[in-house]
Structure 1
Amino acid sequence: MTPSAHTDPTDPPYPGSDDPAGQARAWVARLASGEIDEAELAAFEIWRRPPAHRQAFARQRELWHALGSMRDAFESAPASPTAAPRPAFAARPRRARRRLAAWGLASAACLAAVVAAAPTLALSLRADYRTGIAAARYTLADGSRLALDADSAVAVDFDGRERRIELLRGNAWFQVAHGDARPFRVDALGGSVRDIGTAFEVSRRATGVYTAVSEGLVEVDSGGAAPVSVAAGQTASYAEGRAPTAPQATATADIAGWRQGELAFDAVRADEALHRIARYRSAPVWTLGSFERAPRISASLRADRSDEAIAAVAQRANLRVQRLPGGALLVRPPRD
């Protein structure tokens, strides 16, 4: 069976590996190939659900990241094989050295091209949970509940001292399990949101990180100023390296409304509304031009009817929509 035909989520994408570590290496290589399709990506997400598989993938992912510096070492090595010291291999058995070198050379050779040409696949290598064009719900190892919006991703790092999550893309909602003394925090764009007994949403957007609290209290720290406490029914935001905004009131019913398929917009720019709706389409939505002068959008729209939602935004803001081959949309601001 060819790699592109692989659909069985219990097997690695290539034959010959029947242990989690071998399967994880195969998945890393497959993700890095730039040829994985949506069916295989869905199979990968299913394969990674068992804790043993997640741990194996995390270990192979760390090795993959280390190959970036290994690649530089290979490329800068002198022509004579005896002139270049190899301390990274010195303490390893010969068989392990051959296996690591063979896999490392092949992987390192395509690392830079993959990251540059396929950011979505690079994100898959970092994320522990990632969604496609639909939201999803998960239960974390500590019992906390995680809801991920469409086209969103997080990396999870729980250890003996803290429960840390990095929001890599999109929107996430957390209901934190209590009875665990370890702090729970969500990192994004150099800042963090620390739980103080709560349920809250964190959104990573082009303009910064937004937090909205539906229960309890959080502490928002941008890393550039004093932290800000945000209570239930409030929202705050920060741009990278800048102080958080003062908390503002928000309707708790609108917080993470995407969990119920609702997209609520309150005087947001038309292009931002379009980008949020585009998460729920398999074909992309591109915006061209400045939307600064376009009417802002205040509406509640259905995520499962994304084309209708885009049409509603376009009508309210007088936007020009051009349908392209494959279902892609090109949207321009109103003519002056």
Structure 2
Amino acid sequence: MVERALTYLARMTGGDTGAQDKARRQLTTWLARDIRHQAAWRQAEALWASDSSVTQALQAYLPRPRAATPGRRALLRAIAGGGLALGLGWLLRGQGPQPQHRLDVHTAKREVRPFTLPDGSLLTLDADTHAVVAYYRKLREIVVVQGRVSLDVQPDPDRPLVARTRWGTVRVVGTAFSLSARADAMQVNLERGLVRVWGPDASGEGVLLRPGETIRATQAGLEAIHDTPAGMHAAWRQGWLVFDATPLSDAVAQWNAWRDQPILLAADPALRAMRVTGSFPARDPARFLAVLPDVLPVSVEALADGRAQVRPLAQK
């Protein structure tokens, strides 16, 4: 899988614009197909970011000109052409960079928990969250598999931090922000500092986010930046769920982290496009379900097994 990821990286780096765009589209499709592909892509990026280990390890497998040593771009072109399969196989059997620190962290439903990372950065996990932390010599990486995290990042210009979800990437040096990966979208809320955000195709220069701003990313790409309501960044760490024109599907995904049995949304695009605003104690999802029919054209049915079914009023 890492060989395939390196091939996409090579094609996105070398070649003409048309070939690069095609590679980005292919990469987006490939990443969405399997969560393991995302891990392979991260390892490929780490190999690329690590000094010259990729270049040094692969030079032995290239036809070397007498008067020149191939540079990294030439190596990438060779990878893209498929001529280095054996060399890549050797490299990836332990010759590539390994993380100096690795941490796999989870929280249960209704559990919010802080973790202090090796560099002093603070990572706080929302309820029902899974994240993987890997620190390399020149890169700090956090993958939010599901749920929501808050990060207060210690500055380190020589080792930036990259946070990823299946819908996009956030790159920082030192800052405080929260990042969620629930339902069908990623959301970034910036409290302090600056971050740059990319959508699922990781192309271009990304979007620069400033303090007090929020951005969402779906499989279709980045949405428009909008202001974050005051206090929203910290609310969930204090036991509140705050919604500000939040898609109903996102709100339900947040509530399901606090319920033993989930809230179910009917398969109706109009329902999933509805938006909700309000503040609720996280440990009282019943209050949210009670007021939902008052603010949206929906019905809420309590099922015998403890689940709750939300339907648009037009659907019987």
TM range (shorter): 0.5 to 0.7
Assess, with a 3 A threshold, how the Cα gap between structure 1 residues 291 and 262 changes in structure 2: closer, same or farther: farther
| Among candidates 160, 167, 188, match of residue 211 of structure 1 | 188
The equivalent residue for 1:173 is: 150
| Shift of residue 241, structure 1, vs aligned partner | 6.5
Question: Which of residues 132, 151, 159 in structure 2 aligns to 1:155?
Answer: 132
Task: Confirm or deny that 1:265 pairs with 2:229.
Answer: no
Letter of the 2:288 counterpart:
A
Structure 2 match to 1:141:
118
The SS at the match of 2:309 is: strand
- After TM superposition, give the deviation of residue 256 of structure 1 in Å: 4.3
Q: Which is bigger in relative contact order (C-alpha 8 A, separation at least 6)?
A: 2
The answer on 1:132 being equivalent to 2:111 is no
Cα pair distance change 1:205/1:155, threshold 3 Å:
same
Aligned equivalents of 1:239, 1:268: Cα separation in 2: 14
Q: Distance in 2 between matches of 1:230 and 1:271?
A: 24
Q: For residue 231 of structure 1, report the CA deviation from its aligned partner.
A: 1.1
Per the TM alignment, residue 251 of structure 1 is displaced from its structure 2 partner at its CA by 2.5
Q: Tell me how far 1:283 sits from its aligned partner.
A: 1.5
**Unpaired runs of at least 5, structure 2:** 1-35, 40-101
Q: Which amino acid aligns with 2:300?
A: V
1:301 aligned partner: 280
Given the two structures, how large is their TM-score scaled by the length of structure 2?
0.60
Distance in 1, matches of 2:154 and 2:172, equals 10
In structure 2, C-alpha distance between the alignment counterparts of 1:234 and 1:199, rounded to whole Å: 12
Structure 1 stretches (4+) deviating beyond 6 angstroms?
Answer: none
Q: Which amino acid aligns with 1:146?
A: L
User: 1:322 deviation in Å?
Assistant: 2.2
Query: Is this contact kept in 1: 2:193–2:211, CA < 8 A?
Result: yes
Q: SS state of the match for residue 327, structure 1?
A: coil
Secondary structure, aligned partner of 1:128: strand
Report if the CA contact (8 A) 1:274-1:310 is conserved.
Answer: no
Q: How far is 1:318 from its partner?
A: 4.0
Q: What is the CA-CA distance between 1:265 and the residue it aligns to?
A: 1.2
Q: 1:279 aligns with which of 248, 257, 260?
A: 257
Query: CA 1:154 to 1:308, structure 2 compared with 1: closer, same or farther past 3 Å?
Result: same
Which residue is 2:301 aligned to?
Answer: 322
Q: CA deviation at 1:274?
A: 2.4
Does residue 220 of structure 2 align to residue 233 of structure 1? no
Name the SS for the 1:326 alignment partner.
Answer: coil
TM-score when scaled to structure 1?
0.57
Question: Which amino acid is the alignment partner of residue 181 of structure 2?
Answer: R
Q: What is the aligned residue count?
A: 212
Letter in 2 for 1:275: A
- Does residue 197 of structure 1 match 2:186? no
CA distance in 2, matches of 1:212, 1:259: 13
The 3 A distance-change label for structure 1 pair 241 and 320 is closer
Does structure 2 conserve the Cα–Cα contact (< 8 Å) formed by 1:270 and 1:313? no
Deviation, 1:154, is 0.5
Aligned partners of 2:294 and 2:109: how far apart in 1?
A: 24
Name the SS for the 1:283 alignment partner: coil
Q: CA RMSD in A?
A: 2.6
2:130 and 2:204 map into 1 onto residues whose CA distance is 27
Task: Measure the CA separation in 2 of the matches of 1:177 and 1:165.
Answer: 14
Q: Secondary structure at the match of 1:132?
A: coil
Code of the residue aligned with 2:252 in structure 1: it is L
